[in-house]
Structure 1
């Protein structure tokens, strides 16, 4: 045990860096005005930047954005009442503010100023599946090894508003910044990567998400590869070696002069999986090779997809000059995120049941991965609540019907199918019957979450059940999760 006096002395003698001399406030009035070309009404300091008045906390600069249906200026007074010290506005208001011509352009300018003032290694993360979890794991690894001087985009702030907002929130003292980038259409990631200008660009995987808009897997790969467009000179591209689109991604990265780090099971992968076995906690014990180093570490999150995700994390941390040991520790401690793998013990007849919350997002690849993991989850019965997978267009009916196979392999006892698109799966299960599903899977089709709650209650939950809830966020299955997790 370290003596208190010795510990205090060690803390006081911790080596100082140039970053320690930087101001603690995120933004001052003068800095905001200089960055945006606006006019400050007076002196003030801000600790954060927020665009939703409902989320404003004391110290937050409120940015009054204007959209097609809503104008943030209507909520300036509410933001002040919640503790905002100032607002970024395009018209004079009562209260401290910076007046600019256009608040969206001003937010972009503030983001770029934050990017330029922080001597931080920036990591961009995209992919069809797993980008939020990988982003969180990279952040956890870098925060651990940088004395808390890592920054990342929170939640899924990965679009044309969320990315610049996340950049504007990056403190000047940051050593690392980790930013998630999402898209629905071609050309969107190229805009986002121009904001971030990453030193390291990560693509987790390529799968048929948003295929309705893009038309093919190859087009999806091209859209994801846009993340390399604004890669800083000498930057690194971290890409999946086992993907059928690996050659396409490799060519796109090399065309931008990237230093490529591939990850996967392939013998040619730069971050190569050597072995993975189940761990006692339900995760995996992984052995991987990266450069001349062999690493053995635990991944807390269950499933083969998280073994692959962990390799992407190692590649990103290695490319960013981070600590691989810290990355291993972070992966061992990472917990499931709300809507993305969080596990809950809920009340059921005779005791407790396990509810796995994957309600935030779904596409054919992630559906198969989570169903596969459910099949390895110890339980008395396995129950799934599956919501429609959106943005699949004409491919949708086939992709939904094809879920019958992984449902069978997972030995599911009962399925609640939610949403119009899930009718294709319901019809397929109905036609196949016991001839296909052996013991006879029971299922119900529902229009929405309220009906799904009733259907699950009618079926009845018992101690030892494992219930997987997964669907596109717009289906609203988060309401079902909240309903069952809130019961005592």
Structure 2
């Protein structure tokens, strides 16, 4: 429980304030077990939602307002971060993970190997602060995803998280509108490696000479005898066999990271490997749905590095391979060229290539302006034995001029594919063989 009376803050506590199980900066999530932190926002201050949080039953609110159940502080943001830093010191091991692609996957496998606690999705400063406060006293390792999209943000994250181990999974063009160049991206993300036990993925190793690397091939800590099939990935590490169902090389590299961390933390490798087999990454992050038509749902987000890796995985699978690609966000003035390069790679890995939205023609030979048009054409062409990869950015990105860039939202294509293949699945599974 998060007891506001025990918070290491110079604060005035309202007598009706009571302990909570969770913290949130989103008043819609406030409730009888969830306290509310009133943070300044881009358009509105969280103070505007304090009354709503109290009405929802929030046990306390961290704010500068004099209201019931207030943990009253001069600056809620500064207080939140100070509280988080204090709680972080109670954790026995903190692993911080960043990279241009593969952060969430690496986080999931590292946490499984270590039996660690980890943040489900969000990786912003307030989300990480709330996570550290909620879990810092649990006496388990913590794995924290640390994503950035602007200069100086990694320094702020490192100051908050103070990881014992810093990991960079990959480096490539992402968030170029703010970060400017790949060299800047490598330098900014490399801040996580300073003063920590540092590890970098095989793809990122060229940007950090002398830093220990993990993965397959010419790296410091290598998995051996990697074999990727439609059933999943098999390899060994330090003599321990590992099998990851429905996984490709990216997931296998994340598993190697987890095993390296486990070994250094004194965790038995066979136990860690057994837990890796059960890892389920969040939806939209290379989740394989096997069937008469195999659907690879990688539609949560996209960058050139991530799309290339997904296409390489697709190219290794049997069947008619189909790529469905949409726009990648925040690539700056070179975005058309970057989309064309990815599209060219798709044509070498897939038998049929689809593109949708902006840069559709660059991404696929079959180009469509809208998702519904693409979906209709794709479903009409679908047949048993196909393997379909769906990947694009989703949500909204903001440019420096504050212009909204809409993500494609190809998750609807995944849903349509899963629904449309049901009759084919039934035909394949019919017991009389007809």
Normalised-by-shorter TM-score class:
0.7 to 0.9
Match of 1:99 among 64, 72, 79: 72
**What is the TM-score when the length of structure 2 is the normalising length?**
0.85
> Among 340, 343, 362, which residue is 2:302 paired with?
362
Matched, 1:131 2:97: no
Q: Counterpart in 2 of 1:29?
A: 4
Q: Which residue matches 1:343?
A: 288
**Counterparts in 2 of 1:454 and 1:101: CA distance versus 1, 3 Å:** farther
Give, in angstroms, the shift of residue 85 of structure 1: 1.8
Instruction: Please report the RMSD computed on the Cα atoms of aligned residues, expressed in angstroms.
Output: 2.7
249, 266, 283: which one aligns with 1:304: 249
Q: Which residue does 1:221 correspond to in 2? A: 186
- 1:200–1:319 CA contact under 8 A, matched in 2: no
Q: How many residues align?
A: 408
Matches of 1:31 and 1:450, distance apart in 2: 54
Partner of 1:472: 393
- Runs of 4+ aligned residues of structure 1 deviating over 6 Å after TM superposition are none
Q: CA deviation at 1:59?
A: 1.0
Q: In structure 1, which of residues 403, 408, 419 is the aligned counterpart of residue 347 of structure 2?
A: 408
* Preserved CA contact (<8 Å) 2:114 2:262: yes
1:418 aligned residue (356, 361, 381): 356
Q: What is the TM-score normalised by the length of structure 1?
A: 0.76
CA contact (8 A) 1:338 1:357 kept: yes
Q: Aligned equivalents of 1:317 and 1:83: distance in 2?
A: 41
CA distance in 2, matches of 1:328, 1:49: 33
Q: Secondary structure at the match of 1:125?
A: strand
Which one of 118, 138, 144 corresponds to residue 152 of structure 1? Answer: 118
**Residue 87 (structure 1) aligned with residue 61 (structure 2):** yes
- Contact between 2:111 and 2:258, CA under 8 Å: does it hold in 1? no
The worse-fitting range, judged by mean Cα deviation, of 191-200 and 326-335 is 326-335
Structure 1 residues 328 and 74, CA gap change in structure 2 (3 angstroms): same
Match of 2:112 in 1: 140
1:445 is aligned to 368
Unaligned runs of 5+ in 1: 1-24, 144-149, 252-259, 347-351, 430-442
Q: Which residue matches 1:435?
A: none
What is the CA deviation profile of residues 450-484 of structure 1, one whole-angstrom value per residue up to 9, with x for unaligned ones?
55445545x35444433322111231223444565
- Say if 2:198 is the partner of 1:237: yes
Cα distance in structure 2, aligned partners of 1:102 and 1:418: 45
Contact 2:109-2:254 at 8 Å conserved across structures: no
Deviation at 1:174, TM superposition (A): 2.4
Q: Do the aligned residues in 1 keep the contact of 2:390 with 2:414 (CA within 8 Å)?
A: yes
Offset at residue 219 of structure 1 (A): 2.3
- Deviation string, structure 1 residues 371-413 (Cα, Å, up to 9, x no partner): 222233344x433321111222232222211233332333333
Sort the Cα spacing of 1:343 and 1:265 in 2 relative to 1 into closer, same or farther, 3 A: closer
Could you tell me how far apart the structure 2 residues matched to 1:366 and 1:469 are?
12
Q: Distance in 2 between matches of 1:450 and 1:54?
A: 32
Match for residue 332 of structure 1?
277
Q: How many Å separate the matches in 2 of 1:464 and 1:158? A: 38
- 1:283 aligned partner: 232
Report if aligned partners of 1:138, 1:327 keep a CA contact under 8 Å in 2: no
Deviation at 1:364, TM superposition (A): 1.3
Equivalent in the alignment of 1:263 = 214
Structure 2: give runs of 5+ residues left out of the alignment: 396-406, 423-434
The 8 Å contact of residues 57 and 82 in structure 1, kept in 2 or not, is answered as: yes
Find the counterpart in structure 2 of residue 49 from structure 1: 23
Q: 1:115 aligns with which of 88, 94, 116?
A: 88
Cα displacement (A) at 1:334: 1.4
Q: Distance in 1 between matches of 2:130 and 2:173?
A: 28
